[in-house]
Structure 1
């Protein structure tokens, strides 16, 4: 039997989000001896459930 991971299911469109939130921003940056200016980009956040238990926190995915 083939066992599909959460990540594979989401990336292949086999798992539908229970909620979508627009309007977030992600700040991308680097650290070390050279620290360039951070880049802020708009993102959409998708929330998923992994079962019937409402008390389990939902994993989420951010899309640029």
Structure 2
């Protein structure tokens, strides 16, 4: 399997927010498995961009002390 360079920002509306990559998106797993994206991509192929930032998870949620 060949390795490719990440898609970089191009200055259009498909660019991800500054400092964000596909790896920061909730759709990353699907896009990497089905569409050939890599987590380092900085531009989205979906039009309009479907970037939706993944929220940090708390492993202690719902655990009372």
TM-score class, shorter? under 0.3
TM-score computed with the length of structure 1 as normaliser = 0.19
Larger Rg: 1
Higher strand fraction: Structure 1 or Structure 2? Answer: 1
Higher helix fraction: Structure 1 or Structure 2? Answer: 2
- Flag the structure with more relative contact order, 1 or 2, with Cα contacts below 8 A and sequence separation at least 6: 2
TM-score computed with the length of structure 2 as normaliser = 0.19
